[in-house]
Amino acid sequence: MEALPIGFIGAGRVASTLAGMLEAAGENVLGVYSRRQSSSNALIGRCRSVRAYESATQLVENCQLIFVTVPDSMIEAVVEGIGWRTGQFVVHCSAAGELDLLRHAKNCGAEIGGFHPLQIFSDPEVASKHLVGSSVAIEASGALQLQLYRLANLLEMTPLTLRPGARLAYHLAGNFAASSLLALLAEAENLWEECGFVRETALPALLPLSLGTLDSARRLGLAKAVSGPVSRGDSATLVRHLELAAQRPEGDGLYREVLARLITLAESSQRLSAIQLEALRAALTQVKTPDSS
Full-model pTM:
0.83
CATH of the domain at 63: 3.40.50.720
Among 122, 143, 166, residue at a domain's last position: 166
Q: How many domains does the chain have?
A: 2
Which CA distances in Å does 55 have to 12, 78, 283? Answer: 16, 11, 62
Indicate whether 10 belongs to any domain.
yes
Higher-scoring residue by pLDDT: 287, 259? 259
Give the tens place of pLDDT for each residue, 154-165. Answer: 999 999 988 888
Q: Are residues 233 and 115 in the same domain?
A: no
Q: Are residues 18 and 159 in the same domain?
A: yes
Mean pLDDT of the chain: 92
Residues near 135 by beta carbon (within 8 Å), at least 6 away in sequence: 117, 118, 157, 158, 159, 160
What is the rounded distance in angstroms from the CA atom of residue 154 to the CA atom of residue 160?
15
Task: Render the burial of 67-77: b for 16+ CB within 10 Å, e for the rest.
Answer: bbbbeeeebbe
Helices assigned H by DSSP within the chain:
13-24, 37-44, 56-62, 72-80, 103-107, 124-131, 142-154, 167-177, 179-194, 202-220, 222-225, 229-232, 235-247, 253-269, 274-286
Which CA distances in Å does 66 have to 60, 91, 112, 282? Answer: 7, 6, 10, 56
pLDDT for res 293: 46
Instruction: Look up the domain containing 120 and give its range.
Output: 6-166
Q: Are residues 30 and 64 in the same domain?
A: yes
Give the tens place of pLDDT for each residue, 65-120. Answer: 999 999 999 999 999 999 999 999 999 999 999 999 999 999 999 999 999 999 98
Q: Are residues 13 and 126 in the same domain?
A: yes
Query: What pairing do the DSSP bridges indicate for beta strands 111-117 and 89-92?
Result: parallel
Q: Are residues 226 and 161 in the same domain?
A: no
Indicate whether 293 belongs to any domain.
no
Give the tens place of pLDDT for each residue, 31-58. Answer: 999 988 888 888 888 888 899 999 999 9
The angle at the Cα of 220, spanning 191 to 242, to the nearest 5 degrees, equals 25
Q: Contact at 8 Å (CB) between 144 and 136?
A: no
